[in-house]
Amino acid sequence: MRNLRRTYRLLSLLLHAALGVVLTLVFTRARQTTPSPLFDAIACWWRARIGRILGLRLEIRGKPVAGAALWVVNHISWIDIAALGGVAPVSFLSKSEVRGWPIIGWLAARGGTLFIRRGARGGADAAAEEITWHLIRGRRVILFPEATTTRGDLVRPFHPRLFSAAIRANVPVQPIALRYLPPAGFPRQAHHPTVPFVDDDTLPAHAWRVLGEPRIEVEIAFLAPLQSAGVERRALAESAHEAVAGFLNHIASTTRPDGGVVHEVNP
C-alpha cells in the first residue's frame, strides 16, 4: 500500500511540475524582476497543490500581516516551501545552488525566489539589498534565519544580518512557528520521524520516505508582528527567535489547543 501511494504521488508531482512549466511560460517573461499579481496567485495555488499531493493537513493559527513584511520561520524540511507557500503569495530566499537545479531552479527563479550565495564574500549583503528592494515594492519575503534545518525540537539562533532588509524598508517582521506533529502513538513532544531533512540525508531518499506517509499534520502559527523602525538588527533577530521558540516550547508542553483554521487536505 505504501509503495502504491508513493508511485501515485510521484506521478502526480511530475504532472504537476509539467503544468508549472506551462503556466510559467504563459504568465511570466524571462527578464521580469517580480511576478505579476496574477502569477503570484497561480504560484500560490501551485505550491498549495504540492501540499495536497504530499498529504499535508494544515492548521493555521493567527493571520499574516497585511502588506509587505519579512516572514521569519524555523526551518525543518524542503516541505516547508509547500506548507508556507500555499498560504499566501510570497517570495522565498534560497541558496544560489538551487537556481542551477533542472526545472526546479528555473521555476523558482521565474516565480520570484531570491537567491543568496552562502559563503561568498558580500553574498549576504547582496541578498539583503535584493530583499529590501522586494519589500519596498510591497512584497512578502520568507527568510529561514537559522540557515539550516533542524528536527523541529529546538530553534537555533537566528542570524541577524538579513533582518536589516526589514529595517531599511521600514516593514514589520512577522515570526512564524512551524511544527510537524508526530503521528498517532508518538508523544506530543516528539518531532515527526520522517519530515525533518537533516544530517547527511539525500533529497531522493528523503522524498521517497515522505511520499509514503499517509498524512502529515502541520501547525503554522503567525505570531504578533515586530516593528522594525529604530530597532537594531540583532535585537530584532533575538526578539523573533524568542517568539518562535517560546511558542513551540509552550505548544509542545500542553494538550492540543482548540481553535485555529483547519484546512483538511486529501491527496
Q: Are 139 and 36 in contact (CB under 8 A)?
A: no
Handedness of CA 77, 149, 43, 119 (dihedral sign): negative
What's the CA gap between 35 and 110, in Å, rounded? Answer: 7
Residue extents of the structural domains in the chain: 2-263
Q: What is the predicted pLDDT for the residue at 160?
A: 95
Question: For 67-101, b where at least 16 C-beta lie within 10 A, e where not — what string?
Answer: ebbbbbbbbbbbbbbbbbbbbebbbbbbebeeeee
Of the candidates 185, 171, 177, 159, the residue with the CA atom closest to the CA atom of residue 246: 177
Of the candidates 47, 71, 62, 41, the residue with the CA atom closest to the CA atom of residue 261: 62
> Given the C-alpha cell 547527511, which residue does it identify?
200
The pLDDT profile of the chain, 267 residues, written as one tens digit per residue, is: 789 999 999 999 999 999 999 999 999 887 777 888 999 999 999 999 999 999 999 999 999 999 999 999 999 999 999 999 999 999 998 888 888 888 888 898 888 888 887 766 677 888 999 999 999 999 999 999 998 999 988 999 999 999 999 999 999 999 999 999 988 777 766 789 999 999 889 999 999 999 999 999 999 999 999 999 999 999 999 999 999 999 999 876 664 444 343 333 333
Q: What is the predicted pLDDT for the residue at 120?
A: 64
**Cβ neighbours around 2 below 10 Å, total:** 11
CA of 14: how far to CAs of 11, 54, 131, 202, 243, in Å? 5, 12, 31, 19, 38
Of the candidates 132, 108, 112, 104, the residue with the CA atom closest to the CA atom of residue 40: 112
Instruction: Assign residue 157 a region (left: φ > 0; alpha: ψ between -120 and 50; beta: otherwise).
Output: beta
Name the CA dihedral angle for 250, 187, 191, 156, rounded to a multiple of 10 degrees.
40
**Cβ neighbours around 263 below 10 Å, total:** 17
C-alpha cell, 45:
495555488
Q: Are 214 and 184 in contact (CB under 8 A)?
A: no
Q: Are 162 and 93 in contact (CB under 8 A)?
A: yes
C-alpha cell, 207:
522524498
Helix (H, G, I), strand (E, B) or coil at 55: coil
CATH 3.40.1130 assigned to domain 2-263? The reply is yes
Q: What is the predicted pLDDT for the residue at 109?
A: 86
